[in-house]
Chain A
Amino acid sequence: MKLFSLQATILIICLMSINILSAEENPIFNIGYYDLEKDIRYDIWGVHPVDIRSNTNQLYKRPIAGAELGLKDIKPFQRMSKVKFNLIKKRIKASEDASETIYNHIIKNDIKFILLDFPVAELLQITNKINDLNITAINVSSKNNELRSSQCSKNLFHTIPSERMLSDSLAQYLSEKKWRKILVLIGPLEIDEAKAKSFIESAKQFGLKITDKRNFVLGNDPRARDQNDLDFLTGSAKYDAVYIADTHKEFSYRVPFATHRPAIVIGSSGLIPRAWHWSYLRHGAPQVHGRFERMHKRRMTEEDWAAWVAMRAMAEALVRFKDNENFSLSKAFVNEEFKLDGSKGPILNFRPWNRQLRQPIMLSTENWVTSIAPLNSFVHRENNLDTIGMDNKTSKCVN
């Protein structure tokens, strides 16, 4: 009898220890990452044997790389947030319906948080479809202004800046330099039109003068030389700077040093406003670049940064605000006490009116950050970061 009770005790102790062990194993927190197999933004480009848009490997330039670094960087947060992070990637095939596939994938895999790398049209379909799932999503690549205004969606946050934030940054810089006369060149794509429209609005707000707007096309047809020849395109106009909207970049790369008048080139080449540039040396940015380059053997782009900081935002919210089962990431992101470190200077947080991440913008050349916006002379009654982008008065977001 005695022996039996001893055995029972041992058994109970064993069972208890198993229980303790399993209790220590943190629950898995699934993160979904979605992008498109065929995305025009990541096309391999031109007839060159190497892609001249960068001196580093651009074949794998999708921002999933930033999310992967983010996952590695938030591993130490697991101790504090009591969860185990798991990143599930899914690339949507051309034959699939993106919104349907993602909807089912989220449910099937018990996904709590998603990152979306899509052009605006697909992004809108996806966010409409998943609205009833009550899941928090972050847009890491589309800069479309309407997504932050009339087309906003209640659970969609943005870590990539809007076109308006980027164009306001350029306009602040030109205004401070007193380079006020601008010639605008616009590419053939709808997205180029949207970019140029955003810049023209910024120019108006910051007191610049648009001296002319001209459309360009890529090509050598002598009959269309007023649209493909730079001397014609930039001739017979007065300007201090030439702004160019060219998503594909193949045309814009030839514009600097080739304008009819001596003028700086801004926008899609020359001085480019970006969320992030690898040459930035302050505020802990070099450590982030260093980790990224060691992991992916290429430069870190602004989309990489947006995906990386989205992962950090989620981890930061979990560590600081997860106190009960009803925890909502979307609520934590707009909590007044939410503070995010993006390694570019000030503390970052989301604008509650359109869920856009407030952030400084790097005005950069190909290998240097020339200036940071907002510039010191532009002040806002509450937060100087709100001198760039749509503030709560101009955004039409009501959701």
Chain B
Amino acid sequence: MRFINFIYKNIIKLSFIITLIFSFSSNAETILVSNEGSDNITIIDLKTYEVIATIDSGNRPRDMHYVSSSNSLLVAASEDDTINIIDMNTFKITGNLETGDDPEIFDISPNGKIAVVSNEDDNAATVIDITSGKIIRVIEDVGIEPEGVNFSPDGQLVYITSEGTNTVLIIDPWEGKVIEEILVGNRPRRGAFTKNGQEYWVTNELGGTVSVIDTNSFKVIHNIKFEKKGIRSTEITPVDFAMSNDGSLAYITLGRSKHVAVVQTKNYDVIDYILAGSRVWGAAISSDDKTLIVTNGNSDDISIIDTDKRASIKSIAVGRTPHTVRIID
């Protein structure tokens, strides 16, 4: 009787634990959303769209990367000037990486040894040794307000977008040198490599375009423009990317216009616009390319988009001002 009572009283807790065990023991994919306004991370099951847990992070969590070898999540806590290491078994912060001031976007080298983070307030990029959590070097003068950071697929170079200088800087993080600077559109926010590594795409938030850079010649070879009837050009503010795993499509969030553009990578044709939420910023795609998740910064929710129908099928409330979304196995 006591046992039954115990079960009865704790049924909610138990079911929560069981869901957790299921979601992390099975191979189901999980959605992670950092909420910069409420200082936490929402974890959602990709199959059922149920919120599994909401876990605390440091202050103003923004970019995140999952490290599968240690089952941990690295989260840039901008206001705390650090990157949190969150153990995904216990959902507790187990350590921090040094970052310098105001880390926003970062990337991890393909060999997992170092991370490079943009310090928006210091006009610098910081290179961090992941094992020790210590700063190796700071690369100064990467333009005003550096933001997007991406390791080249071979891990040799890092591409950084500089919002205030309208350029992409290519740096060698291992030597700490600026290799090249490329003029792009106004307020370049984020970048993404195409799956074959031949091109680096950059969103120009205020220019309203995407610049395509050839990674061999370091030249801008194409500008993708967005036009949709009923949307003024000033409303088109591209920010983030999700590149489909099969390499054929790029999904680009268009901020104020509330739409996500679907672009063919082979010929840069914009083939569709999908309606999402208010100030749509972050984007991530499932491993089977069937589901696209975007964060809507102004309505505190995410939209689940069916990529076959090219339509939003559900929106899920998360924390305040969702910033980055990732999908992990």
A residues whose Cβ falls under 8 Å from a Cβ of B: 73, 76-77, 79-80, 284, 287, 290-291, 316, 319-320, 339-341, 346-347, 383-384
Query: What's the nearest-Cβ distance from chain A to residue B178, in Å?
Result: 9
Given A339-B206, A347-B186, do A76 and B143 touch, yes or no (CB 8 Å)?
yes
- Mark each residue of chain B from 116 to 146: 1 if its CB lies under 8 Å from any CB of chain A, else 0: 0000110100000000000000000101110
A284–B186 touching, CB < 8 Å: no
Given A290-B121, A319-B166, do A346 and B181 touch, yes or no (CB 8 Å)?
no
Contacts of A320 in B (CB 8 A): 183
Closest residue of chain A to B121 (Cβ to Cβ) is A290
Query: What's the nearest-Cβ distance from chain A to residue B102, in Å?
Result: 9
User: What is the bound-complex CA distance between A340 and B186, given in angstroms?
Assistant: 8
Contacts of A73 in B (CB 8 A): 144, 164
B144–A347 touching, CB < 8 Å: no
Contacts of B234 in A (CB 8 A): 346-347, 383-384
B163 contacts the other chain (CB 8 A): yes
User: What is the bound-complex CA distance between A319 and B143, given in angstroms?
Assistant: 14
Contacts of A76 in B (CB 8 A): 123, 141, 143-144, 162, 164-165, 167
Query: Can you give 22 contacting A-B residue pairs, CB < 8 Å?
Result: A73-B144, A73-B164, A76-B143, A76-B165, A77-B165, A80-B183, A284-B145, A284-B187, A287-B120, A287-B145, A290-B121, A316-B166, A319-B166, A319-B183, A339-B206, A341-B164, A341-B166, A341-B187, A341-B206, A346-B234, A347-B206, A347-B234
Closest residue of chain A to B141 (Cβ to Cβ) is A76
Add 5 more A-B contacts to A76-B162, A287-B164 (CB < 8 A): A76-B165, A79-B181, A80-B167, A284-B187, A341-B163
Query: What's the nearest-Cβ distance from chain A to residue B104, in Å?
Result: 10
Closest residue of chain A to B206 (Cβ to Cβ) is A347
B207 contacts the other chain (CB 8 A): yes
B232 contacts the other chain (CB 8 A): yes
Closest residue of chain A to B207 (Cβ to Cβ) is A339
User: What is the bound-complex CA distance between A284 and B188, given in angstroms?
Assistant: 12
Query: What's the nearest-Cβ distance from chain A to residue B238, in Å?
Result: 13
- Most chain B CB atoms below 10 A, which of A290, A341, A383: A341
How many residues on B have C-beta within 8 angstroms of the other chain's C-beta atoms? 23
Contacts of A290 in B (CB 8 A): 121
Q: State the 5 A-B residue pairs at the shortest beta-carbon distance, nearest first.
A: A76-B165, A347-B206, A76-B143, A339-B186, A346-B234
**Interface majority SS on A: helix, strand, loop or mixed?**
helix
User: What is the bound-complex CA distance between A340 and B206, given in angstroms?
Assistant: 9
User: What is the bound-complex CA distance between A346 and B205, given in angstroms?
Assistant: 9
User: What is the bound-complex CA distance between A383 and B232, given in angstroms?
Assistant: 9
- Most chain A CB atoms below 10 A, which of B162, B165, B167, B183: B165
User: What is the bound-complex CA distance between A346 and B183, given in angstroms?
Assistant: 20
Query: What's the nearest-Cβ distance from chain B to residue A185, in Å?
Result: 36
Contacts of A341 in B (CB 8 A): 163-164, 166, 186-187, 206
User: What is the bound-complex CA distance between A388 and B144, given in angstroms?
Assistant: 30
Question: Which residues of B180-211 have CB atoms within 8 Å of chain A's CB atoms?
Answer: 181, 183, 185-187, 206-208
Contacts of A383 in B (CB 8 A): 234
Contacts of A319 in B (CB 8 A): 166, 183
Closest residue of chain A to B182 (Cβ to Cβ) is A80
Contacts of A316 in B (CB 8 A): 166
Contacts of B185 in A (CB 8 A): 339
B165–A346 touching, CB < 8 Å: no
Contacts of B145 in A (CB 8 A): 284, 287
Given A73-B144, A287-B121, A347-B186, do A384 and B232 touch, yes or no (CB 8 Å)?
yes
User: What is the bound-complex CA distance between A319 and B186, given in angstroms?
Assistant: 12
Contacts of B186 in A (CB 8 A): 339-341, 347
Closest residue of chain B to A287 (Cβ to Cβ) is B145
Contacts of A291 in B (CB 8 A): 121
Given A73-B164, A76-B162, A287-B121, do A346 and B206 touch, yes or no (CB 8 Å)?
yes
User: What is the bound-complex CA distance between A80 and B181, given in angstroms?
Assistant: 8
